[in-house]
Structure 1
Amino acid sequence: MYLALLLPAVLQCSAIGALPADDQPAALKRALEDLAAPTAIYVTGAGVARPFGAAAGLADPHTGRALTPNTPMRIASNTKTFTAATVLRLWEQGRIDLDAPVAPMLDPALVALLRADGYAVDKITVRQLLSHSAGLYDHGADSRYVEAALARPERVLERADQVRMATVWGDPAGAPGERFLYSDTGYVLLGDLIERLTGEPLAAAVRRELRLGERGLGATWWEIAEPPPGGAEPRARQFLGEVDATDIHASFDLYGGGGLVMSPRDLAVFMADLFEGRVFDRPETLEVMLARGAHEGADQYRIGMLVKEAEGREIYHHSGFWGTAAYYDRETRRSVAVATTRQQTFRTEARPLGESVLGVATPPCG
């Protein structure tokens, strides 16, 4: 176990992505087999001659079913990239103004909840929701949220329940456009905005606007709202510590901040499609997505996408609550997605290994 915990740091010192291309699949497989938790990775993109993936461990410890790069999992906040891209697709069609106030576009009941808690809803813009700069409290980060889900995993939540929790548990955290403050609540509002603007359920609007059915994503669906694709593997069991959280009702994270079930393979393929010009109609739309805002903390998060500088490159990425992450390196044109079934090992094992496939060495190295 001690060696396994040290391994990600060692891998970062001699990153898998720095090895000759023919050696990387075998090195990845060996590294995965030494990790403590079941983990899967898939690598693709225009800079990869032959896409490859690997996995180790069990997707379901009850049945002994093995984890694979095609095993679907709840991807939680990785969904935000899809929600943001859908809004940008509507923007490039001229159907929405990113700098318009959101109040007229939202369910009046949600607006009333926010106003009653002191939010300047008439000043909050679409772009601010997308970039987490609207000053919204994050219901999802409140410890009471997960505690309530574990206590009553069968509870069905509505979008209004989540917005109400944000207003009861917290208050406005700054003026609109002032600073970056990550908020699931903001993306729940964006989900409502998409539904009202398109007249479709969120899942249907995202699938249509992003053309998910045309991308060969055989293990991707919006939980509850869509059936799993025919032939998809069963969803992996996912854990919070030693608690099997697989059967927490999907409405825990369903309305735009989360909601998608995907395999690492599908997630990496979509990231490559997004950055290589196969999602938006115009190249400049991606640049709008990646443009740095004027608010404090805008260096961390753009529109539906985190960014980090490593080895002199900008790496775009997003992660999800259950232990998933997706990356794209525009310099090497490499897309990587990683997922683990054990959330507590994500930061110590899964994420460092995923970044090592990009060739990123993050000190300190042991």
Structure 2
Amino acid sequence: MRGCIHTETRRGEMIFRTQWPAASVVAAPSGVSTAACFAVGDHSNQATLLQLKAQTLVADLVGADAAPGAAAYIIAPKFGMEAGMVAGVTERAGREPLTIERPIRISSVTKPFVAAAIWRVWEMGKIDLDQSIGSYLTSAHVMILTGGGYDVKTITVRHLLSHTAGLVDVFHTNAFTQMLPKLMTGQVKHRFTLEEQLKMAMEGGPRFTPGEAFEYSDTGYLLLAAILEKATGKSMAAATRELVGFDRLGLGNTWWEVLEAEPRGVLARAHQYEYVCGWDSYDEDPPHDLFGGGGMVSTPKDLARFFYALFHEEVFEKPETIHVMVSVDKTATPRKQNDSVYGHGPQIHKVGDLTVYAHGGWWGLDVGYVPELDMAVSVIGLRRDIRPRYTAAFDAIILEAAHLQAKP
């Protein structure tokens, strides 16, 4: 099963109230179905050029890279534009065209939502970022960590948010990786509990002293989910929905799979594939990443809307919160050159000279916000084994927007 392990290249309501015109077809490779819908303002030439560039990139992901389907969504008020670009179909052997409203599993892009909910709890004065997590966890969770060799008094909420707690990643343990192929092919149907995964993550003990280094770990977000539940007295799903404001932001196609009811009238999820391993996201039911590190379902449109809202004072009550959220903690050990630069929820990604606050997901997607362009972008694809191509398309859209903005 070479290449079939749970690894990831880390990346993590300004809505035009305009009726969308009929989908316009854009030239694409032979046999590739493409469509785009967009609203434009006074910068229609720039908007059209950016939309055409994005549509070409999306079409290439299907035509040249053989993804069953791909999509992008852009919110760029400086260009007077909100646009969705789509190519391909929802299922490898199917004929139904992919649409911008078609939901997918967003895997690790769930993390910025959970982080935002934690920051809202912080704004409410219910948690202190620099307080020991032992103050915010149940005694059962503290006992699991202590039994695994962790000193909870030295781990803070800030460490969890910034992946500097020294926690083993549950999805990189021997116990989990041995189960993964059977889970992904549907040979085994198993709904993990948070406690079960936390116990699994105790394999091998601490990776390093909290604050010493950076190492991405889904386990930290399991604990953030547990903290969220104890601090609010609600389920993680309910707390995140309420604190982030899904309904207020118009995120009608975003929900927690299994943990809450599917929204009424939402389309069925698109199939997401791993060709090398022969995996189809529909075969893994329920998903293994339900508790904070992943577990959410959304659309390219909702993801771009969330990231735009996050940076426009529509999620947080205090203007300074977003600045602290994207700050980067220093570690005792210098970061390796290929380490992600991670804030306290999103990743800080560089595209040329531009700073992008972003996050990516294991199944194959990237979403982010670019302050210099005041632009939110999402790119998704339905074939995860070419995931670097989606990141390349994401970067190319941003560079094209920067080029167009620089034109006199």
TM-score (norm 2): 0.80
2:55 is the counterpart of 1:29: yes
Moved more, 40-49 or 295-304: 295-304
2:158 is the counterpart of 1:127: yes
On the 8 A contact 2:173/2:200 being kept in 1, the answer is: no
- State the number of aligned residues: 342
Aligned partners of 2:200, 2:103: CA distance in 1, in Å? 29
Alignment of 1:29-108 (within 5 A): 29-35=55-61, 36-37=66-67, 38-108=69-139
On the 8 A contact 1:71/1:263 being kept in 2, the answer is: yes
Aligned partners of 1:261, 1:146: CA distance in 2, in Å? 23
Q: Offset at 1:355?
A: 1.3
Residue in 2 aligned with 1:176? 210
Residue in 1 aligned with 2:12? none
- Aligned pair partner of 2:301 in 260, 265, 268: 265
Aligned partners of 1:135, 1:316: CA distance in 2, in Å? 23
Q: Offset at 1:299?
A: 7.1
Aligned partners of 2:358, 2:286: CA distance in 1, in Å? 24
Aligned partners of 1:41, 1:249: CA distance in 2, in Å? 26
- The one-letter code of the counterpart of 1:70 is E
- The one-letter code of the counterpart of 1:130 is L
On the 8 A contact 1:159/1:188 being kept in 2, the answer is: yes
On the 8 A contact 1:110/1:160 being kept in 2, the answer is: yes
On the 8 A contact 1:40/1:340 being kept in 2, the answer is: yes
On the 8 A contact 1:132/1:181 being kept in 2, the answer is: yes
- The one-letter code of the counterpart of 2:279 is V
Alignment of 1:170-249 (within 5 A): 170-241=204-275, 242-249=278-285
- The one-letter code of the counterpart of 2:373 is T
Distance 1:177 1:280, change over 3 A: same
Aligned partners of 2:124, 2:251: CA distance in 1, in Å? 25
- Aligned pair partner of 1:351 in 391, 399, 406: 391
Aligned partners of 1:51, 1:145: CA distance in 2, in Å? 41
Residue in 2 aligned with 1:116? 147
Higher helix share: 1
Distance 1:140 1:275, change over 3 A: same
Moved more, 146-155 or 191-200: 146-155
Residue in 2 aligned with 1:330? 371
Q: Offset at 1:265?
A: 0.6
Distance 1:57 1:141, change over 3 A: farther
Q: Offset at 1:201?
A: 0.5
Secondary structure at the counterpart of residue 250 of structure 1 = coil
Q: Offset at 1:165?
A: 1.4
Aligned partners of 1:283, 1:265: CA distance in 2, in Å? 25
- The one-letter code of the counterpart of 1:281 is E
Q: Offset at 1:61?
A: 3.0
TM-score (norm 1): 0.88
On the 8 A contact 1:83/1:190 being kept in 2, the answer is: yes
Q: Offset at 1:224?
A: 1.0
Moved more, 38-47 or 121-130: 38-47
Distance 1:143 1:59, change over 3 A: farther
On the 8 A contact 2:47/2:81 being kept in 1, the answer is: no
Q: Offset at 1:193?
A: 0.6
Aligned partners of 1:250, 1:106: CA distance in 2, in Å? 26
- The one-letter code of the counterpart of 1:352 is A
- The one-letter code of the counterpart of 2:216 is Y
The percentage of counterpart residues that share the same residue type is 35
Secondary structure at the counterpart of residue 335 of structure 1 = strand
On the 8 A contact 1:292/1:299 being kept in 2, the answer is: no
Q: Deviations over 1:249-306 (max 9, x none)?
A: 3350011111110001100000000012111011100011011212244971000111
Q: Offset at 1:47?
A: 3.1
On the 8 A contact 2:175/2:200 being kept in 1, the answer is: no
Aligned partners of 1:143, 1:64: CA distance in 2, in Å? 39
Distance 1:48 1:143, change over 3 A: farther
Structure 1, unpaired ranges of 5+: 5-18, 362-366
Distance 1:142 1:238, change over 3 A: farther
2:182 is the counterpart of 1:151: yes
Q: Deviations over 1:313-365 (max 9, x none)?
A: 21111011111111110110110011111110111x2111111111179xxxx
Aligned partners of 1:232, 1:222: CA distance in 2, in Å? 13
- The one-letter code of the counterpart of 1:225 is L
Aligned partners of 1:299, 1:225: CA distance in 2, in Å? 30
Aligned CA-pair RMSD: 2.0
On the 8 A contact 1:46/1:272 being kept in 2, the answer is: no
On the 8 A contact 1:250/1:259 being kept in 2, the answer is: no
Q: After TM superposition, what 4+ stretches of structure 1 lie above 4 angstroms from structure 2? A: none
On the 8 A contact 1:150/1:245 being kept in 2, the answer is: no
Alignment of 1:355-366 (within 5 A): 355-359=395-399
Secondary structure at the counterpart of residue 345 of structure 1 = helix
Residue in 2 aligned with 1:364? none
Residue in 2 aligned with 1:15? none
On the 8 A contact 2:190/2:286 being kept in 1, the answer is: no
